[in-house]
Amino acid sequence: MRKLPAILLLSVLLGCAGIVAFAAGGSGGRLQEAVSEHADEIYRGEDPIVGDGDVPVVLFTDFNCPDCRRAEPAIDRLVAEKDGVRLIVKQLPILGRDSEIAARIALAADAQGQYWPLHKALFEARGRITQNRALRIAEDVGLDMDKLKADANGDEVSATLAKNFLVADALDVPGVPFMLVGDRRVLESDDLYGDLAAAVDEVRAEGCAAAC
């Protein structure tokens, strides 16, 4: 897991005023309480959604995070093979300006209905994702580049990123990738797909304490 800095300056990353401090991570009970308090922002925000299943899987991620890249095959397989999954992707660009720009470009692709193809292509690319690389990959995916650039710099994308940092703070997200299945956290592991799939079955059988 790539840890979040102790203090993130949203004024630097997002052009917004304010400082958000991140804790080291909460206990299961504290997490479920926070999830219940912020269920609308977590599950019903403006983030890209892949699939229309009944079990939400929430992923906080950064395109330049090596650990996120290692987790991606399990996430991709879950979406492709596991029935009933609704993946909610929350961009949390903690690794600098390149990550923020890549996140903005990916969120802008969602307005063209092409978030997931671009998400997969960005994670499949080797090396650091810079602005130029992200734009080249977006063009290869077939996006309208003029619209993409305008939307990437728009207020809606800025607001989505700002909200993601605030939600991460509320949940005491310690770093990326950070994954929730329903209101249950799933940790990185050698069998991440198996753990995610089991959590999906558990949530479907038992439901969420939060309104997820």
Q: pLDDT tens across 153-175, in order?
A: 999 999 999 999 999 999 999 99
Query: What are the percentages of helix, strand and coil residues in the chain, rounded to 5?
Result: 50, 15, 35
Provide the pLDDT for residue 84.
95
**What torsion, rounded to 10 degrees, do the Cα atoms 87, 173, 14, 130 define?**
-70
Check whether domain 2-206 has CATH 3.40.30.10, yes or no: yes
**First-last CA distance in the chain:** 25
The count of C-alpha atoms lying within 13 angstroms of the C-alpha of 164, restricted to the half-sphere facing its C-beta, is 30
Provide the pLDDT for residue 194.
98
| Residue whose C-alpha is closest to residue 66's, from 95, 91, 40, 88 | 95
Averaged pLDDT score across all residues of the chain: 89
Provide the pLDDT for residue 24.
35
Distance between CA atoms of 171 and 23, rounded to whole angstroms?
Answer: 9
Is the pTM here over 0.85, yes or no? yes
Instruction: Give pLDDT tens digits for 3-25.
Output: 655 434 343 344 333 223 333 34
Residue corresponding to tokens 């799939």: 197
Does residue 16 come out as left (phi exceeding 0), alpha (psi in the -120 to 50 range) or beta?
Answer: beta
